[in-house]
Amino acid sequence: MSIKKLTLTALTALTLSVTSAVSSGDGGHIHDTDFSFESPFGTYDEAQLRRGLQVFTEVCASCHGMQYVPIRSLGDKGGPHMSADAVREYATQFEAADTSDDAELGDTREAKPTDHFPVSADPNAPDLSLMAKSRAGYHGPYGLGLSQLINGMGGPEYILSILVGYTGEEKEEAGTTFYENTAFPGGWISMPPPLYGEDVDFADGHSNTLHHEAEDTAAFLMWAAEPKMMARKRAGFIGVLMLTLLSVLLYATTKRLWAPVKQRAKDDTENS
């Protein structure tokens, strides 16, 4: 089988697998949103990440944790980019296990920037560290998976759609209350609506409608799952640029090396 056929076969298989995974895991309506970080040269909006952090802190953190995210990363450039003093002050609202020599089992202390965000307070509430990567929203027309290769799986869109997808309808089954949600697979979710709009007063005075709060939260959780996304994009761009330059140099070198050989062969053909 030729390299061309192998390449086409691999791309087809990858496309079908992505489409199958997305189709089987979906079932709800996912809103497509143009986040600032989605394009190949896109970046996180620091102000938006800070607003999302505020929503997480004042609303989500009462149940959900982010145990894989170090608090110190809030000061990283490209993230919320908070000052060192602000990060230290923010960390003090959490507690961490005290592992000093004179501490007893179960003792806690005031958290430091070197600690991670706490685990979920509710054992049934999923950790939000990797939520934007583990949940997929669907991009593009049904049956075509190539868009996922370019735009990603749509985790932030999924989170945004869940947060704004509650209809207000409820039902009870086996002693558990379920809430109708247009984005959740199956249409019903056990988590009550976490946001209603005007839940927080943003420090920068930004609009705090339900959609804006949900969008900021989704962007923040994308950063929590992919804090080094911008660095990977830069590395990928530099890699493609270097490979392109190398290809041009190899082509020019090949032409230069083989030009005399081709000329001699042409002359021999004409002389004969």
pLDDT in tens, 128-179: 999 998 887 655 444 455 555 555 568 899 999 999 999 999 999 999 999 9
**In angstroms, how far is the first alpha carbon of the chain from the final one?**
39
Cross-strand partners of 57: none
Cα 23 versus chain centre, distance: 19
CA distance 266 to 269: 5
User: Per-residue pLDDT tens for 64-103?
Assistant: 999 999 999 999 999 999 999 999 999 999 999 888 878 7
Structure tokens, 124: 């049934």
Q: Kindly report the average pLDDT of the chain as a whole number.
A: 85
User: Per-residue pLDDT tens for 209-232?
Assistant: 999 999 999 999 999 999 998 888
Residue type, 171: K
CA distance 26 to 149: 17
Strand pairing category for 108-110 and 95-97: antiparallel
